[in-house]
Amino acid sequence: MIKRLHLLLCALLCLPTSGAGQDQRHPVCLLQFDSLSRRDLDTVVPLLGGQRDAAVASLVRGRGLMLATEAETALLRERGYSFRVLMKDSSIRTLYKRALYGPSLQLSDVYHTYGEIIQEGDALIRDHPSLITRIQIGSTTQEKRPIYVFKLSGNAGTSRDRPRVLFTGCHHADELMGAEICVALMTSLVRQYGRDKRTTAWMNEYEIFIIPVLNVDGHTVVTAGIDPRWRKNTHDTNGNGILYEFPEGVDVNRNYDFNWAFGGSEDPASERFRGEYPFSESENRALKGLAEQERFLLSVTYHSQGEVVYFPWDWRGRKAPDDALLREIAEGLAASVKTMEGDTSYKAEYGAGTVGQSYPWLYGTMGTFDFVVEVGLGASFFPPEEVAGLVTTNLAGAHYILSRAGGPGLALRVVSRGSRKPLPATVRFPLIETEDLVRRTTDPSTGRFWRLLAPGRHTVLIQSAGYRPRILKEVAVAKDGWTTLEVELAPGDEGAGLQGD
């Protein structure tokens, strides 16, 4: 029952309201319920009559904000529900501004604009130039704003042969908490370096990458007070030259090329429009290029809402090849983050198959263990007084992920016999991996391959063009830390048969 109500609320939160036109023929009421349980949705929602413009704007700690026609408002009163009418207006957008921004109809300055995020990052760079740097990884599809990643490490100006971890916020424009968590994580890691033993170790042992906002154009729509409902990027999909016609744009989290056709919608009016083709959007190509270059070991992608951690995958009953380890990490991540009520923690669940989203693409194509954290409960973004608590609880989850980047696993390096030149090689674990996965490869510049594994013995198959393949059996992975192994490949015919160990 609880799960069904949660799914119902999620659907309503994402329900399209008006199309390009914001004005309605008749006024609509914004209702505030001061004591509305999630169970009440079962009875309240049917009374709204399934009207397209009637939706739950938020339901946070029992405070529910709903849109209803005047007739529906009268019916709710007749049925004995207690609420206040905060506003009547013919503009659905204005009603949502009042619901989500508050009486000022502008976003609270508790939240960062993109410009403020960049300013804070640049201030950290000025004060700690050896610990953090900023890199442009692309520009937005429509408005050509720069998309930045911040790189953090004990020597951020150079590339080191270390495990790499990625944190990403704001695929969806209105899910603002991801950006806030990323900014807080970036700030705390830099400022605690040299002061906190654990933070210092992470910065020295890993390379940490943070994209506070991937969907910069959409995030700007929400933070500038233009439209708090905006979810997608601002791609002018109808080509009329007019921006911000709700719900125009492409859902950036349905545009990845991993079973793209099975996810999202082909309808440009849908809030989950997946685009004309995979990686049609610059935002997705920016993350793709970064992931291909850095080959992340672990990744967290922040969304809102649900207090759940999604991991790959249960695709029509077929689990991901690394299911046991993925579940173990997802459950550890979820257990480390307290719910808003504080009496329990987030839950770990399989994500919705392999459907053009970031986590199946990162895992299935790049080998990155990516986890989606749905922050908070009841809104895409939250009242100002909730922000600090949500950031604090979710930093604990980020810290858990950073601790897991220390293994256990295999740190393999493949080189050419004789010259000891690093080799680009395919590394397979034939007793684990299936044809669902794109083959994983070493970093061609270093020959390095990082792979999280359960402790125990594993079989490894290594192949490189122009070299004889090699199979290693009974490779022992220790219970803690990284098990390092250097493997030499002999030049020769790669079809000549396996070299065994």
Q: Please tell me the number of Cα atoms within 13 Å of 459 on its side-chain side.
A: 7
Positive or negative, the Cα torsion across 421, 422, 426, 430? Answer: positive
In the chain, CATH 3.40.630.10 covers 114-249+299-404
Residue type, 239: G
> Three-state SS string across 163-213, please?
CEEEEECCCCCCCCHHHHHHHHHHHHHHHHCCCCHHHHHHHHHCEEEEECC
Local structure of residue 260 (DSSP, 8 states): G
Position 496 scores a pLDDT of 56
What are the residue ranges in the chain where pLDDT is below 50? 1-21, 51-54
Largest CA distance in the chain: 86
Position 155 scores a pLDDT of 94
Query: Residue holding tokens 């989290």?
Result: 253
SS3 470: strand
pLDDT digits (tens, 9 = 90+) for 316-327: 888 999 999 999
Position 19 scores a pLDDT of 37
Mode of pairing for the β-strands spanning 409-416 and 448-452: antiparallel
> Tokens representing 448?
């390095």
Distances (CA, A) of 235 to 138, 244, 267: 15, 9, 14
> Tokens representing 340?
């808003």
Burial of 31 (C-beta count, 10 Å sphere; 0-12/13-18/19+): buried
Cα–Cα distance, 72 to 51 (Å, whole number): 10
Query: What are the b/e assignments for 341-375, b being 16+ CB within 10 Å?
Result: eeeebbbbbbbbbbbbbbbbbbbbbbbbbbbbbbb
Omega cis (within 30) before 106: no
Position 40 scores a pLDDT of 85
Position 181 scores a pLDDT of 98
Q: Which residues pair with 31 in a beta bridge?
A: 66, 85
Position 22 scores a pLDDT of 52
> Tokens representing 296?
């992340």
Fold (CATH) for 114-249+299-404: Aminopeptidase (3.40.630)
Q: What is the DSSP string of 53-91?
A: T--EEEEETTEEEEEEEHHHHHHHHHTT---EEEEEEEE
Position 353 scores a pLDDT of 63
pLDDT digits (tens, 9 = 90+) for 197-209: 999 999 999 999 9
| CATH classification for the domain delimited by 409-500, as one of 2.60.40.1120, 3.40.50.12500, 3.30.465.10, 3.20.10.10 | 2.60.40.1120
Position 52 scores a pLDDT of 38
Query: Residue holding tokens 């050896």?
Result: 130
Please answer whether residues 62 and 37 qualify as being in contact, where contact means their C-beta atoms are separated by less than 8 angstroms: yes
Cα–Cα distance, 61 to 220 (Å, whole number): 27
For the chain, give percent helix, strand, coil, nearest 5.
Answer: 30, 25, 45
In the chain, CATH 2.60.40.1120 covers 409-500
Mean residue pLDDT across the chain: 91
Residue type, 288: K
Fold (CATH) for 2-101: Alpha-Beta Plaits (3.30.70)
Backbone angles phi, psi at 404, to 5 degrees: -75, -15
Position 2 scores a pLDDT of 37
Cα–Cα distance, 255 to 272 (Å, whole number): 10
pLDDT digits (tens, 9 = 90+) for 427-451: 999 999 999 899 999 999 999 999 9
Query: Residue holding tokens 């109808």?
Result: 238
Cα–Cα distance, 359 to 382 (Å, whole number): 24
Position 14 scores a pLDDT of 40
Task: Identify the H or E element spanning 46.
Answer: helix 41-47
Position 494 scores a pLDDT of 60
Helix axes 177-192, 197-205, angle to 10 degrees: 100
> Tokens representing 61?
């700690």
Position 498 scores a pLDDT of 56
In the chain, CATH 3.30.70 covers 2-101
Sequence-distant (6+) residues with CB within 8 A of 236 are: 142, 242, 243, 248
Is the full-model pTM beyond 0.85?
yes
Distances (CA, A) of 466 to 39, 430, 441, 492: 64, 21, 15, 6
Distances (CA, A) of 32 to 81, 89, 290: 11, 15, 44
